[in-house]
Structures are given as C-alpha cells and as structure tokens.
Structure 1
Amino acid sequence: MRTTTGFSFLSLALFSINLWSQDQNKPVVIAVDAAHPGAAISRSMFGVFFEDINFGADGGLYPELVKNRSFEFQDPLTGWHQDLGISKTGLANPRGEISIRMEAPLYQSNPHYLNVRVYEPGYSFWNSGFRGMGVADGAEYRFSAYVRSHGAKAIRATVTDENGREIGSGKLEGFGAQWKRYETVIRTRATTQHARLNLYFDEPGALDLDMVSLFPVDTWKHRENGLRKDLVQLLYDMHPGFLRFPGGCIVEGRQLATRYRWKTTVGDIAQRRTIINRWNDEFDFRPAPDYFQSFGLGFYEYFQLAEDIGAKPLPILNCGMACEFNTNETAALDQLDEYVRDALDLIEFANGPVDSPWGKIRAQMGHPAPFHLTMIGVGNEQWGPHYVERYKIFAAALKAKHPEIKLVVAAGPAPAGEPFESMWTTWRQLKADIVDEHYYMGPEWFLSNTSRYDHYDRSGPKVFAGEYAAQTAGTTSAENRNNWKAAIAEAAFMTGLERNGDVVEMASYAPLMAHVDAWQWKPDEIWFDNLRSYGTPNYYVQKLFANNAGTRTVPVTMQGEPMLYSSATLDEGSHELVVKVINHWAHARPAEIRLNGINVSGTVKVTTLEADPQAENSFDHPTAVAPAASTADVRSGKITTELRPYSVTVYRVPLQNQTAGLR
C-alpha cells in the first residue's frame, strides 16, 4: 500500500512537471489595455536618495583630497603626519614642529588651526587623504590654504605616489601677518590611487595654516567647489525625478548636538562648521573614527545638484529628535521654535526673493533664481507619540505660511507590524501628505510584495518608498551582495510601485554610494574608489525604470503566470506606450504582448537586462550586467517575443492617436 501510494505521488509529480514543461512552449499572453490609460503617475516617481554614509560625501561625491583640511576632527591632527628626521645629536624631528592653536582663529565657527614652527630648512609634514588621494596623469589640482605668517615666507607642496616619487609640485608665497587665502595649480604627471600631499618649508620661521586644500580643477560643470564628475554623471544618466538629501540617520545625529543643521552648511566653505558623522562608529565590524562632515557639500550644493540632474529637491529636516536607535534624545515641545524656524527659513533660502534675508544669501552664493522647492521631510524614520506631537507643531506652522509645500512623514523603520501600523493609522487621521516607508528585506520579500499597494486607500496619504534594497544575507550584514538576484527582485517590486502610481508618489533605492575602502553598509547602488566608479545591477534597474517612466498607468493582465511581473504606462510627452516585463524563471519564455484597443505596426525599441542571479559588476567589469538595446516588430497590435531567462525587458511602442484614450 505504501509502495503504491508513493508511486502514485511520484507519477503525479512527473505528470505535473511534464505538463509544466509543455506549457513553457505556449506563449505567455500579456494583455495591455492600451485604450484605457488609468491614473496619472508622478513625474518624479523614481529618484535618488543621497546620504553621507560609506564616505559618500567627503572622500566621494565631494572631491576634496585633503582629509581634515580645517583641523576640526575630534583629534585635530587626524590625517596629518610629520616626517621625522634624526639630527647629529640624535634628537628626533629637530627641524620643526606643529601644534593646534585656537587664539585669533580664521573663523570662530571652525576655531582650530595649525601652527607651524620651522627651526631648520627641510622641515615637512603630509596629509594621507581619504584612504589615499586619487590623482590622474595630466590633471590639474588647486592647492590652496589660508595662511598667517610669523616670519615664514613660503610653502612648497609636492604630490607623491605610493612609492614616494614626486609627481607634481607647486608653491605658495608672499604671506602677510593677517589671514589670507593663497592658491596655485599643481599638474600631476602620473595616475595613482594612493598619492599624498607633502608640505615643505625651506627656511626657518613660523606661520599658521587653515583650510588646507587640494581640489581637482576639473569638476562637474567646472565649479570651483564642484562635485566629482564621474559620480554626478552616473546620477545624471539616471534622469531621476527627485533628490532626497542629506539623509537618513545623519539628519538626526546620535545626539541633538550633532544633528544636521542646514544653516551651518551654506555660505563660505571656510565658515561651515565641521561635525562628527553619525556613521563614525555605528558598526563595530566597520569602525570609521576618521569619518566627519566638512559640509563642503552643503544644502546649496545639494539644491544645485538636484537642478543639474533635473530632479526635484527633497530636503529632510530634524524635527527635534535624535536617532531613536541611539540616544532617543528629544527637544522639549516648548523648545521647538528653532527647529520650526529652520524649516521656514529653508523655504525662504530655496524659493525666496533676492531681497529676503535667506534669498539674499542664495543669490550671493551664485543662484539668484529660486530652486523651486515643493516638499520637505519632517524627521527621518521616526515613530511614536513624541514624533506625532512634534509633527503637529511643524505642520501647523508650515501649512499656515506655506500651504504649497508638501510634508513627508515617516512610518518607522520596518514595512509591517508595530509601529508601522499605528503610524499609518495616525497619518490617515491627520491627512498627512506623503508617508515614507522603508524596507531592507530579502529578495523573496520583494518578489512576494509586488501587489503590496494594490489595495491601499486611494484617498489616503501618498506613499514614498523612501529606502529599499534587497538584502541577500541580512540587514546590515557585511555579506550582502549587489548581485542580479537582488536587482531583479527589486525590479519585480517596482512594477507594483508603477502599477499603483496613483498611490505611490516616489521611490528610491538606498544607500546610494559607497567607497570600496571605507564603507559601513552593504549593499549600495554605486561603488567607487579614489579614481573609478561603477553602477551595480541595482543601479541599472533603477536607471531603466527612471529612463522609462510614464505619466499614466495602463492596465496589464497575465493569465496567472508564476514568476512573471509586468507594468505598463503611457508616456504622454513622447506619445509612447511603455511595457515592462520581468521573467524570473531560469529559462526563456515565449510571449505575446497584446496591445488591446489599438492597431499599431512597425518597429518597437527594446531594452533588456539579463544575467545569472549571482552576477555582479566590478571595477574591472563595470558593465558585466548592463542594458542591451534591440528592436522588435509589432504587427496589428501584437508583439511576439521571447522573454530571456532572469530578465527585465522594456518595450517602447510609438502610438498614432488611434483611440480617445491615447490622445
């Protein structure tokens, strides 16, 4: 009896597999109701979220090569090293000495500076940079410093490679008794990832130094305080709908004293107050004691970057709460005036006329036109009654004076359970504008949640999928990989975001950037070292969706096909129908895309991303997983195609105003 039953189950299983195999030869029917476009989709649906984690700003997007240029780190000599020599008497380093001073500083906001005393010619010291300094053969770098002389006449600067070979030099001279900025340009004669800047003094004397800088001349848009070109180019190529900045947890700080204050990040870079980075010691397995924020990349530069890449700015502000995962420190309700005033002044800085106090500062920095700010985040990843109380105070003040500004609020750190459910109940009651949801989950979660927003309340607050990334090993695990397994799962989930564009307002992967030698968190969308960068498979998924976003949803149905995911939109600007299909099977699937309601024929642009699930990109193979372009034929409203294994495919179908729905 047992043998017979076992045989029956085995026969049934083999029969099912045989039927399944036969079904694979039948075309999958994907029906697109092209005649009846649905709800409008936000034009800023797919964007980017930048946080200064993984050395994403200093040492990354902000290309200053000198670490601790203003001597304001917790250890003010971090990054600086003396060349020790031995005299005839056997004394170490007899030629000079350096020390930190605070008397009569360059600016009180950054009170430390370096006092240099030279006793004998040839005294020198050097800066190590951010895990070294990346310089290129034939490139130019602006060497500058604020100097106040006490007799010393000149500084000779050299750039040397990892073997100590000089590959560039320059000189500052003509110093006076008052603080003044001096500069020269150094052209390097070799390419190296790990150069260093050496400062030599050829005559005895003394001087004070501050804001010592080695900065590439060739920046994005050739700005003097500009950004790293290759990293901005990767963002520009995405055509993101928005830029969320500056975080993330660094907005909160471990304590309120180290929270992000936007007002200290604008104006003269020499007056921007350096503070510790919140990711300095968050993870024991990836300590970064030299991680601080110089704010050379500040709120003005963030707004400018958003404008450069065609994205809406979304600044996130502290609401009187430090990180709830750390100290959970909160400002008293009767002490929130400063925080609310910061929000109101930020709107004026971004949008105000040039004769307003903060609009004038924007204009003086070089941007008299407004930045067209339309939304602000109140807090980051917060939850609980204390958060709600503070939001109410913010909302009352901001809505009274600026009803045109939408407010983004948080739903906590997880996508389900408490406090997620209670926060959503509250936001519905308070009629919040946009609710920020975060999900750092496994690839399987993303695949099983493609219908997450199908049944959300259409009349409630909009959704911001503000931070998400498939975790292949576990949240915060050092073993997480930026492989195709994770990226294709995110793509499947994104079809659900797009299909529910009337509920989901915006979405962004996180974190955005990571230095290969100085990261704290994996996975990340873009990886870089001191000279190179590459987009991960996750980056190319984000780029594919952002470059092929539509303006209205279009209904799509499939005949219950497992592991297939699809969405469709109408791009009213280009007058094209955009169909996205994800095949999560390990084999090809014949498919027929039926464009119901229209009768078009001709050539369709096709873009395909496909790879083995474990495939990754790297510095040596930056496009191992990258889109490939092709074409397909459409005949009488049908596209007969083959869906490649583990693939994401986008079809752009030109339309000719054939139906009322597509006019």
Structure 2
Amino acid sequence: MRKKVLQVLALGLLLSPCVAEAQNRNVITVKTKTVSGKIAPAMWGVFFEDINMGADGGIYAELVKNRSFEFFKPLMGWTVNGAKVKEGDFLVLNRAPEHTANPRFLKATVRNAAQGDAGLLNEGFRGMGIKQGLRYDFSVMYRQQQPGVKLHVQLLNSNGKVIGDTILIPSQQNSEWHKQAVSFHASGTEPKAKMQLWLEGNGIIDLDMISLFPADTWKNRPGGMRADMIQMLADLKPGFIRFPGGCIVEGFDLSQRYQWKKTIGPVEERQLIINRWNFEFAHRPAPDYFQTFGLGFFEYFQLAEDIGAEPLPILNCGMACQFNSAELVPLDELQPYIQDALDLIEFANGDAATHWGKVRADMGHPAPFNLKLLGVGNENWGPQYIERLKLFTKAIKDKYPGIQLVNSAGTDPDGERFDYLNKELRNMQADIIDEHYYRSPQWFMQNARRYDNYPRRGSKVFAGEYAAQTDKIASPHNKNNWLAALSEAAFMTGLERNADVVTMASYAPLFAHADGWQWTPDLIWVDNLQSYGTPNYYVQQLFSLNKGTAIVPLRMNNDVIAGQDSLYASAALDGKTNELIIKLVNVSGKPKTYTVELEDAKPAKQAKLTVLQSDNVNGVNSLEQPKQVAPKTAEIIIPGKRFPLEAAPYSLSICRVRL
C-alpha cells in the first residue's frame, strides 16, 4: 500500500501546474526570503524518566534484580535453593548506620557442599535477556570469614537448561571486602533466563553487589547501558535530553525525592530508594520497582554528550508531589536544596580545581559537560512553588547568570493553576516555562494555533511533556496508534510555526517495558531482547531530522494552515543545506492535492519526499511488526516554482526542496 501511495505522489508531482489546479484550487504559498523566526538547535528533544522499567530493567543493562539486597524485602528477586540448605545458612545482615548507602549483605554458610547443594536463583527484571555467543561479565563483592567456598555461575533458559556457565574462585582469603569478576559466553538465546549461583565447598562467605552485565553495552562501557535502546535515542538526533523526570524528581514525599549527589561515585556507594511508580497505580502495581542509581547523574550527562544532546537536568525545589503528600520544606530550611542546584552546576561545568568539578574529573570526565539549562521543580504549582522558585532563581542567577532556568507551568495547559503560574512566571521574566499536555487526539488538532498569539517577547515555552491519550489520562487502555501520532504531528506543525516562542519540545514518557509498564502511551517499547519505535516515535524522528534553522511563512487562502480542509502545515529553511522543508499533515481519509507556489525562490528539479502514512488510524507497531507504520522516502520531480503536492490520506508528508 505504501509503495502505491508513493507512486501516486510521484506521479502527481509530474503533472503540470494547470492540471493540478484543476483538480484542487487550494494554493499553498511560501515566502522563502521572509524569515519570521529562528528555530533553536535544541528544538526537538527527549524526556527520560525511570517509569515503565525505563532505567533498572531498561537502559541500565544490569541483569540482576536486587543485586545488593536493599529492596524492602531483602531477598525479593532471589530464591534460596539446594538440597543441603538449612535454616540460618543464608542470612541478610544490616551494617547500618556505618554503611547507610549500602547497608545490607548476604552471609552464606556452606558445609561440604557440592554443586546443587546450596545456592541462590535470581529472576532478573521479568527475566534476563540472553543472546547466544555474547560475553557476559559476572562480578561480586565478597568477604571470606572462613575461606573455602567457590561460586558456580549458571544461566538457565525457561526450561531450566544451562545456556552459559563459569566458576569464580575467590582469590582473597582475608576478611576484607573485595570485588572480583569473571566472564563467560552464552550458548543459547533466551528472553526469560535466570541466573543460578551454586556455592561449593566448606566455609562462610559474605556476598554483596552480585552483578551480571552483557558485553555489548552502549560504546562497550563496562557496567553501561543497553545499546539497542540508546541507539533508538541516537537515531532521533535529539537536541536535548531532560532527566531524571518527571514525578520521581518530587517523590511521594521528600524522603523519596531524587537527590543527585546520591547517584554519583562508585556504584556500590549509591543509595537505593523506592521508585514512586512502585505503588502509584493500583491497576499496575510494581512492588519490585526500585532505583539502584547505577544510572546516575554522571551517566545522564555522559549520555547527552554521546548522542549530541544538550543536558537538561531537573531538580527538586523543596516540594514533594502535590498529588500525593504535598509535603514542603519550610522556606527557612530551603538552602540545602538551593545549594544542591549550585553544586550541580559546578559538577557539570567546574574545572578540577573546584570541589564538584574534581568529583566529575575523578569519575573519568575531566572536561566540563557545558551545562546551559537547568529545571527547578517538576509539575509544581501554586504560590508555594513561586515563593520557593524565587529563592532558587536569585541564588542561581547571582552566581551563574548564563544558566537558563526552566520553570513549571503545572500539570495542565489551561485552568486556574495554569493561568496563575503563567502570569507569575512572566512577571518574574522566567527564561523558559514548561507546559505539559496529556489530552485527546482531538485536543491536539484543535490546539495547533495555541501559540500563534503568544507574546513574541519575554519568556519562552518548553513543551516539556505531551502525548495524545486515546482513552483518558493514565488509562491502561491508551494506545500508541496512528491517530494519536497523526494528531501530535498536526500539533507539532503549530509548535514549529511558532518556534520563536516554543524553543523546545519533548514527547513523554520515553520508554516502556512490554512486561513491566505502569503508564501508556509511550514512545519506545521494549522487551528483554528487542526494542521498536511507535508511530509516535517516527513522527518525532521526522520532525527532528527535518528541523531546519528558520521559520518561513506558509499560507493558504491568506491564513496559516491549521485545520483548514483537514490540513496542518509548516515550513522551514535549512540554512546549512539551502533547502526548503515543507511539512503537511492530512488528518482526513481522503487524498488532498495542493499547488505549492514559491513566491521568491527557484527550486531545483528534484526533491526528497518522505511519507509516514497508514489507512488504519488504529494501526500500531509491535514487537512482531515493528515497522507497520514507518516512513518511506522517494525522489520526486519539481517542474518549477509552482508544483503540485499531494497529501495522502492520514499522512505526514515532508518535502525537502533544494533552492
């Protein structure tokens, strides 16, 4: 079907202008030499939050769940097994308060044990994704109180068959803690594997940080990220990455808030906390969902650098989630929170002579990360937010005036909360106001003109979280279908047309595990071995790859195109390639043919046309059919300054014309 659509499009473009106008008298005019605004290099980005097993069990490639026995139930994810195990042979001990970051460890006592007599089985994150022929790196921290124990490490497939194994013999015999590693290769592929540890010998050994990583991490970094998932991000070529959230920044209460300083340094010294999505939705409970912070702020900055994106960290402003506890830090006790913000800027940008710059350098990154953007608060609202934000703003701007601050406009794009915040933030001359919209596909189409009449001066807008909800907000029945993606594309033409007001935008949430999600819809779906992009992903990718550098006027019947004849459109120039980029979104079930007229430029004879289209608005991509809705590209002929351009039914079409 798509091939046929492209053939029809190419044929239509070969028609003479007079024939095309006879078919449809709507003329789209473009003024290529009238720039109405610049498009920020970071316009289209990504928003990451550890929801739906996005980090642990997701992009953080650790395969062992509860590796340091710090979950509320210390042996969650583990099963003690073996013919000779007796009561008290496996004990979880707690060494707090001396080791508050990682207090628990496992003490194992074995007595003349052979393989199969005493051991531990780990279930992984909804299983472990194991690939045949791939190397796996096992490591453990141990302390031998009575030497004489060796560890047999096995990977088991869903039938219990061994598909990879090795032996680790502790090399240190004293009673100090040591870390030791061993590697082996898998002999089979399995999406739901488990890891079995058998303890052989006679002795007493303490175990902590029991870990297993695949060798094929992103950039082959030991203890790194899952490469296929990061490649999906890199393929978007995002202008920024916002992290670490999202609601986890706030926490259910302040004790569960995200604290960046506890996420850096050696992984065994990073303090685990519960993930607030562990218990948020009764319809999708996740009692085994915690944050180990193996993926911490250093790794987030490094990821942004890897994929060429501006880092945009968001920090807690002294307020917990207002939907949950609404807990506040008193204003006279806010200084530690403000200091965390100042210290983060030093961590990102300071040289090795500064305290936090040295911490970064010691972690292996002497050069600064060149942080330019910082968010204060996430979806916070009310006068309590404004009074805290003013204290943050003054302190940060006094010391780092060049840092652009992103401020919350609350949870909704309209209503009393939004109106209050929008007024107060603009009175404060806020740099960037973060607006969120989780609404129906119809809302997105109806609001394509939202920013046409926004002030052109003063505060800019960050469309920080948006996604069309096919059922209702937070419903488990929301789908990443083509209707949702198409409505977002229509709305995004309005964002691009107003890029002098809207400087950044990002879909949310980013990732979801097919067996471990809490929220739908989501941009990228994964299981333990595969990942795929939704139709929404391809919309985001096409806008990002065809961003351009400046907005130019595009009109039909002397008006912007935002719903007339079921069409939405925008136009941009790419100053680097001297191309005109026209985006057309047809939300109707009929093909539409228009005459494009370039009023002040001569086009080359060929152009590139990319079409994302499906006749089924309920169509979705899946693990089985990952590209059921995916873009197709063809070369087309441009006969002159006036040429026909067809928008296929239910389609996003992008035409790149060299001038």
Structure 2 length as normaliser, TM-score? Answer: 0.93
Q: Does structure 1 conserve the Cα–Cα contact (< 8 Å) formed by 2:509 and 2:521?
A: yes
User: C-alpha displacement at 1:153, in angstroms?
Assistant: 2.8
Identify which of 406, 424, 433 aligns with 1:408.
Answer: 406
The corresponding residue for 1:637 is 641
The corresponding residue for 1:594 is 597
Deviations 1:90-127 (A, max 9, x none): xxx44972111124899441111111111341211111
User: C-alpha displacement at 1:225, in angstroms?
Assistant: 2.3
1:418 and 2:416 matched = yes
Aligned mates of 2:340, 2:223 — CA distance in 1? 24
The corresponding residue for 1:607 is 610
Identify which of 361, 375, 378 aligns with 1:377.
Answer: 375
The corresponding residue for 2:160 is 164
Aligned mates of 2:141, 2:98 — CA distance in 1? 8
Identify which of 84, 95, 102 aligns with 2:94.
Answer: 102
Q: Does structure 1 conserve the Cα–Cα contact (< 8 Å) formed by 2:100 and 2:271?
A: no
The corresponding residue for 2:16 is none
Q: Secondary structure at the match of 1:493?
A: helix
Aligned mates of 1:245, 1:319 — CA distance in 2? 15
Aligned mates of 1:41, 1:645 — CA distance in 2? 29
Deviations 1:137-163 (A, max 9, x none): 001111000010122431111111111
Q: Secondary structure at the match of 1:213?
A: strand
- Could you list the runs of 5+ residues in structure 1 that have no partner in the other structure? 1-21, 88-92, 656-663
Q: Secondary structure at the match of 1:480?
A: coil
Q: Residue 571 of structure 2 aligns to which amino acid in structure 1?
A: A
Q: Does structure 1 conserve the Cα–Cα contact (< 8 Å) formed by 2:63 and 2:212?
A: yes
The corresponding residue for 1:651 is 655
Q: Residue 319 of structure 2 aligns to which amino acid in structure 1?
A: M
* Farther-moved stretch of structure 1 (614-623 vs 590-599): 590-599
The corresponding residue for 1:307 is 305
CA root-mean-square deviation: 1.5
Q: Residue 627 of structure 1 aligns to which amino acid in structure 2?
A: P
Q: Secondary structure at the match of 2:278?
A: coil
Aligned mates of 2:406, 2:472 — CA distance in 1? 28
Q: Residue 586 of structure 1 aligns to which amino acid in structure 2?
A: G
Q: Secondary structure at the match of 1:424?
A: helix
Aligned mates of 1:108, 1:480 — CA distance in 2? 41
Q: Residue 407 of structure 2 aligns to which amino acid in structure 1?
A: V
User: C-alpha displacement at 1:35, in angstroms?
Assistant: 2.1
Aligned mates of 1:139, 1:104 — CA distance in 2? 38
Q: Does structure 2 conserve the Cα–Cα contact (< 8 Å) formed by 1:211 and 1:270?
A: yes
1:132-211 counterparts in 2 under 5 A? 132-151=127-146, 152-173=148-169, 174-176=171-173, 177-211=175-209
Q: Secondary structure at the match of 2:219?
A: helix
The corresponding residue for 1:252 is 250
User: C-alpha displacement at 1:226, in angstroms?
Assistant: 1.4
Q: Residue 150 of structure 2 aligns to which amino acid in structure 1?
A: A
Deviations 1:42-71 (A, max 9, x none): 110100000000000000000100001111
The corresponding residue for 2:14 is none
Deviations 1:504-527 (A, max 9, x none): 010000000000001000000000
Q: Does structure 1 conserve the Cα–Cα contact (< 8 Å) formed by 2:29 and 2:554?
A: yes
User: C-alpha displacement at 1:552, in angstroms?
Assistant: 0.8
Q: Secondary structure at the match of 1:203?
A: strand
Aligned mates of 1:558, 1:172 — CA distance in 2? 71
Deviations 1:353-408 (A, max 9, x none): 11211111111111111111001000000000110010010001000000000111
Aligned mates of 1:615, 1:158 — CA distance in 2? 41
Deviations 1:217-267 (A, max 9, x none): 111111112110000000000000100000000000011111000001011
- Of all paired residues, the percent bearing the same amino acid is 51
Q: Residue 564 of structure 1 aligns to which amino acid in structure 2?
A: L
The corresponding residue for 2:105 is 113
Aligned mates of 1:601, 1:297 — CA distance in 2? 48
Q: Residue 342 of structure 1 aligns to which amino acid in structure 2?
A: D
The corresponding residue for 1:59 is 57
* Farther-moved stretch of structure 1 (130-139 vs 149-158): 149-158
The corresponding residue for 1:3 is none
Aligned mates of 2:66, 2:556 — CA distance in 1? 57
The corresponding residue for 2:279 is 281
Q: Does structure 1 conserve the Cα–Cα contact (< 8 Å) formed by 2:604 and 2:658?
A: no
Aligned mates of 2:585, 2:74 — CA distance in 1? 52
Q: Residue 622 of structure 1 aligns to which amino acid in structure 2?
A: P
Q: Does structure 2 conserve the Cα–Cα contact (< 8 Å) formed by 1:107 and 1:270?
A: no
The corresponding residue for 1:323 is 321
User: C-alpha displacement at 1:588, in angstroms?
Assistant: 1.0
Q: Secondary structure at the match of 1:440?
A: strand
The corresponding residue for 1:658 is none
The corresponding residue for 2:627 is 623
Q: Does structure 2 conserve the Cα–Cα contact (< 8 Å) formed by 1:48 and 1:508?
A: yes
Relative to 1, partners in 2 of residues 1:96 and 1:27: Cα closer, same or farther, differing over 3 Å?
A: farther
Q: Does structure 2 conserve the Cα–Cα contact (< 8 Å) formed by 1:609 and 1:648?
A: yes
Aligned mates of 1:106, 1:336 — CA distance in 2? 27
Aligned mates of 1:541, 1:28 — CA distance in 2? 25
* Farther-moved stretch of structure 1 (27-36 vs 502-511): 27-36
User: C-alpha displacement at 1:486, in angstroms?
Assistant: 0.2
The corresponding residue for 2:6 is none
The corresponding residue for 1:339 is 337
Deviations 1:160-199 (A, max 9, x none): 1111100111122124221000100121111111111111
Q: Residue 656 of structure 2 aligns to which amino acid in structure 1?
A: R
Q: Residue 394 of structure 2 aligns to which amino acid in structure 1?
A: A
1:41-80 counterparts in 2 under 5 A? 41-80=39-78
Q: Secondary structure at the match of 1:541?
A: helix
Q: Does structure 2 conserve the Cα–Cα contact (< 8 Å) formed by 1:50 and 1:247?
A: yes
User: C-alpha displacement at 1:459, in angstroms?
Assistant: 1.3
Relative to 1, partners in 2 of residues 1:310 and 1:27: Cα closer, same or farther, differing over 3 Å?
A: farther
Q: Residue 163 of structure 2 aligns to which amino acid in structure 1?
A: I
Aligned mates of 1:104, 1:424 — CA distance in 2? 46
Q: Secondary structure at the match of 2:356?
A: helix
Q: Residue 566 of structure 1 aligns to which amino acid in structure 2?
A: A
- Could you list the runs of 5+ residues in structure 2 that have no partner in the other structure? 1-19
Relative to 1, partners in 2 of residues 1:386 and 1:240: Cα closer, same or farther, differing over 3 Å?
A: same
1:530 and 2:534 matched = no
Q: Does structure 2 conserve the Cα–Cα contact (< 8 Å) formed by 1:472 and 1:486?
A: yes
Aligned mates of 1:262, 1:103 — CA distance in 2? 24
Q: Does structure 2 conserve the Cα–Cα contact (< 8 Å) formed by 1:514 and 1:526?
A: yes
User: C-alpha displacement at 1:653, in angstroms?
Assistant: 1.2
User: C-alpha displacement at 1:84, in angstroms?
Assistant: 4.8
Structure 1 length as normaliser, TM-score? Answer: 0.93
Aligned mates of 1:243, 1:33 — CA distance in 2? 33
Q: Does structure 1 conserve the Cα–Cα contact (< 8 Å) formed by 2:604 and 2:657?
A: no
Q: Does structure 1 conserve the Cα–Cα contact (< 8 Å) formed by 2:605 and 2:640?
A: no
Relative to 1, partners in 2 of residues 1:179 and 1:24: Cα closer, same or farther, differing over 3 Å?
A: farther
User: C-alpha displacement at 1:41, in angstroms?
Assistant: 1.3
